[in-house]
Amino acid sequence: MLKTKMKKLITDWLEKCNFQAVENKMYDYYKILSRVGKLNLFFTLNKTKGRNTVSIFMVFDEPVKARIAGFDCNNYSGKFNFHILRTEREIDYVFGLLEKN
């Protein structure tokens, strides 16, 4: 249930932002063309202290451009990850960061 809801949140967000995404059939994985270059995104569902949580993993192909644009990603790898997200509000916060920058 949570995975379906999370997948819908991601898909809705991608459509709202007019980002192009290609879903890999093996994973919930997306390649997104953002204004700072390609962004690779996937998510996992976890159990943390008995609660369902979500981790969102993102990697910018061009980390220098992403940092100049204000993303606090890793300088070298471009990693921009968020873990132990428990609520829709926390997930919206992550997508809000992407929309702002």
Nearest CA among 58, 67, 66 for reference residue 91: 58
Cβ neighbours, 10 Å, residue 70? 10
Tell me the Ramachandran region of residue 28: left when phi exceeds 0, alpha when psi lies from -120 to 50, beta otherwise. Answer: beta
The helix or strand, by DSSP H or E, that contains position 64, with its residue range, turns out to be helix 63-68
- Higher-pLDDT residue of 37 and 15 is 37
pLDDT digits (tens, 9 = 90+) for 3-20: 677 777 777 776 776 565
Tokens of 14: 């991608």
Write down the pTM of the prediction: 0.76
The domain ranges of the chain are: 2-100
Residue 55 token pair:
């981790």
Residue range 55-96, pLDDT digits in tens:
888 999 999 999 999 999 999 999 999 988 888 888 888 888
